[in-house]
Amino acid sequence: MEDKLLFDGQPLTIEQVIAVAQGSKKVALSPAPEFKQRIDKGCTFLATLLKDDGVIYGVTTGYGDSCTVTIPPQLVEELPVHLTRFHGCGLGKVLDKESALAVLCVRLQSLCQGFSGVSWELLERLVLLINQQIIPVIPEEGSVGASGDLTPLSYVAAVLIGEREVYYKDERRSTASVYQELGIEPLKLRPKEGLAIMNGTAVMTALACLAFRRADYLSQLSTRITAMSSIALVGNSSHFDEVLFSVKPHAGQQRVAERIRKDLNHVERPRNADRLQCRYSIRCAPHVIGVLEDALPFLRTTIENELNSANDNPIIDGEGEHVLHGGHFYGGHIAFAMDSLKNCVANLSDLLDRQMALLMDTKFNNGLPSNLSGATAERAMINHGFKAVQIGISAWTAEALKQTMPASVFSRSTECHNQDKVSMGTIAARDCLRVLELTEQVTAAALLASNQAVELRLRQGRLEDFELSKHIVAMRADIATFFEPLEEDRPLEATLRHTIELIRQQHWALYA
């Protein structure tokens, strides 16, 4: 039997969501009778309550501020379809396929908690969409993060009923045409199911899972680049001494220092000609990167708590037969996590930008050629090395830093002052992904530049191959397969783009 990720209401990890999003893992609903019974109880209870004229928000009433509007029984079944349609106003870019698959996975996990009153058939349809890679086309913009991700999730609900568009086999097509080709019948939503799909935090949480993974890798890669920059600057490895870091016991900071120590082979390098201490962007790198390293465990807990929650409204307790009206759709925890993460990540950009400045400038680089040019002496005057790349790093860093204004403090009262305090969690998550994108660009450029700087130091004879750790040697050998040392000026865009892609694929195994 094919190994599948089983959905049974038990907790998922960020890594499991990523595996589904990347298409490396198919999914299945648990065959356990008790799991199906829990799902069925909520659905049956709702049906009974509806038959007995119970008042249920979003089932027998309008939505949001319209909750005072009573829906006549003959119109109740039409209400979910209207919910999906009037929210079809998303704008901006659309989520990439990986992000949209993550959204499906996260929403499925929430509904599998058994407190949303949905049918088994709806869960099966989400499983089918994931496994057959029928991916909803979801615009990024239009959510204030309460009542959850209504507008972007309406595109998921619309696909369930055979409307709007999907990606299928690398083509963007109408859902109806794909369903017809595959012999799939559009789902008829039960009275609360439109709300159950749309009223929750699945988009912001899915993006947060993706952001966490990328940030974790950038933390490690920034550490490796710092080590290479320290080597190239003939820095002092005692800045990362174990005893030194034992007296300031932030675990993440200590971990970064340990990684750099190993990359430096514990070599006590000669002092700079005129400095006892390296500048802050080298000496304090563990303190900068360490903030992110220490934040990651907390951020994981926050994101995974949201991932494994029931977060629509109302909550349906099929076991105790309660309808509980609340605000679990509010994305404040994800908003805080993403506002915090983008701050930490942007600081990586700023750190690497400063390291690049040291490597490039002959006033600070301890004898390296200007702009890290590898040109021979007679051709040095017309070659410019990484000069323009440094300008690019500065531009990308500035834009990343500009994005760090917290989104969560820009709450707006909307929807007739029903949604009068909102989380902005989805905007925070999108901002964080943009900061990650810019920082990956900075990191790609800094990696090539620090690699060039080590190469130039080897050529000078001020560094010997045996001084380099096996990890640095292996990484430099891999970089050499697509980047030759820069001697004569040449366009670097294609190489930078390739390096960025390798970073996003997490191509290099860095630290255990």
Residue 64 has pLDDT above 80, yes or no: no
Mean pLDDT of 436-445: 98
Decide: 188 and 157 in contact? Cβ < 8 Å.
Answer: no
User: What's the confidence (pLDDT) of residue 2?
Assistant: 67
Instruction: Classify domain 207-318+327-504 by CATH architecture.
Output: Up-down Bundle (1.20)
> Which alpha helices (H) appear in 269-331, and where do they start and end?
280-283, 285-307
| Neighbour tally for 374: CB within 10 Å | 17
Decide: 165 and 173 in contact? Cβ < 8 Å.
Answer: yes
Lowest mean pLDDT among 40-54, 195-209, 380-394: 40-54
Decide: 40 and 17 in contact? Cβ < 8 Å.
Answer: no
Residue 272 has pLDDT above 60, yes or no: no
Residue 460 has pLDDT above 80, yes or no: yes
Specify burial of residue 510 (Cβ count, 10 A radius: 0-12, 13-18, 19+).
middle
On average, the pLDDT of the chain sits at 93
**How do residues 288-322 score in pLDDT, each as one tens digit?**
999 999 999 999 999 999 999 999 999 999 999 99
Residue 271 has pLDDT above 60, yes or no: no
Q: Where are the domains of the chain?
A: 4-200, 207-318+327-504
Residue 436: both structure tokens together: 């990650």
**How do residues 215-239 score in pLDDT, each as one tens digit?**
999 999 999 999 999 999 999 999 9
Name the nearest CA neighbour of 409 among 341, 335, 303.
335
Tell me the catalytic residues: 57
Lowest mean pLDDT among 46-50, 95-99, 330-334: 46-50
More confidently predicted of 266 and 97: 97
Tell me the whole-structure pTM to 2 decimals: 0.95
Topology agreement, domain 4-200 and domain 207-318+327-504? no
Q: pLDDT band at 486, cuts 50/70/90?
A: very high
Helix and strand totals (H; E) in the chain? 18, 9
User: What's the confidence (pLDDT) of residue 308?
Assistant: 98
Class of domain 4-200: mainly alpha
